[in-house]
Amino acid sequence: MYQRNALPRTATGTADDRKDFMPAGVTKCNAVIVAASQTSYAAIKQIVAGVFSSVAFAGSMAEAKQKASAGLCDIVIINTPIPDEFGVNSALDIVTRFPFVQVMVLVKADLYEQVTYKVRGYGIFVLSRPIRGQTLLEGVRMLESMHGKIAQLQNENLKLKRRLDETTIVTRAKCLLIEKKSMSEEEAHYYLERTAMDSSKSKKEVAQEIIRELDPDQ
């Protein structure tokens, strides 16, 4: 499987580009290696184990998908073929159902072009065998960094969603104060700010209380 001097081709760029995908402070990921035998699993694990918090074995794609569904892995490495199927269809299924799971597929050199074409546009990282251990390690590090960037974007989106949610609630409360209490917009804003300060509550909490009081049917 691994040759000291054999250079594989990759579907997502050269391994030397990995430095561009290495943000600092990214928490280590959990990985699942899908392989037909414990021997193949052990060979891959020996190379990549230091990159991850944990590395688990899956002897079938069905087992790998179960682990992904249970949130037990961030990265899946598939050493094709797998006993229950070749592995590519399930790789596509995993990235479609679990978009924050990164997938790497290892294939024979004569299948590389075919597999790369099939997974094009899905963000699946493809390496062809035989493969140098150093290149596999670099590819895995790139995947880990990509996962970290995606996780950061997810967190930023969640924060933005919370801010938009708070803005919507506060705006609704201001409108009710203007409508029901005959306040001006400036008075409603000051009332929310002052009440939040006096009660040691957030503006969102105060706004929710105002909405429940002035528009109980909402």
Asked whether 82 and 60 are in contact (CB, 8 A), the reply is yes
Mapped onto helix, strand or coil, the DSSP state of residue 113 is: helix
How far is Cα of residue 94 from the mean position of the Cα atoms in its chain? 12
Q: Classify residue 124: in a domain, yes or no.
A: yes
What do you get for the CA distance between the two ends of the chain, in Å? Answer: 63
Q: Classify residue 6: in a domain, yes or no.
A: no
Nearest to 3 by CA among 140, 145, 127: 127
Q: 172 and 102 in one domain? A: no
The number of domains in the chain is 2
Of 154, 174, 194, the position where a domain reaches its end is 154
Q: Classify residue 4: in a domain, yes or no.
A: no
Mapped onto helix, strand or coil, the DSSP state of residue 109 is: helix
Q: Classify residue 3: in a domain, yes or no.
A: no
Which domain, by its residues, includes 96? 15-154
pLDDT for 152 equals: 81
Q: 192 and 145 in one domain? A: no
- CATH value at residue 184: 1.10.10.10
Q: 46 and 36 in one domain? A: yes
pLDDT for 45 equals: 96
CA distance to 57, 88, 185, per residue, from 39 (Å): 11, 21, 70
pLDDT for 216 equals: 83
Q: 107 and 19 in one domain? A: yes
Low-confidence stretches of the chain (pLDDT < 50) are 2-26
Q: 209 and 117 in one domain? A: no
What are the tokens at 79? 């050493």
pLDDT for 99 equals: 87
Q: Classify residue 9: in a domain, yes or no.
A: no
Q: 170 and 71 in one domain? A: no
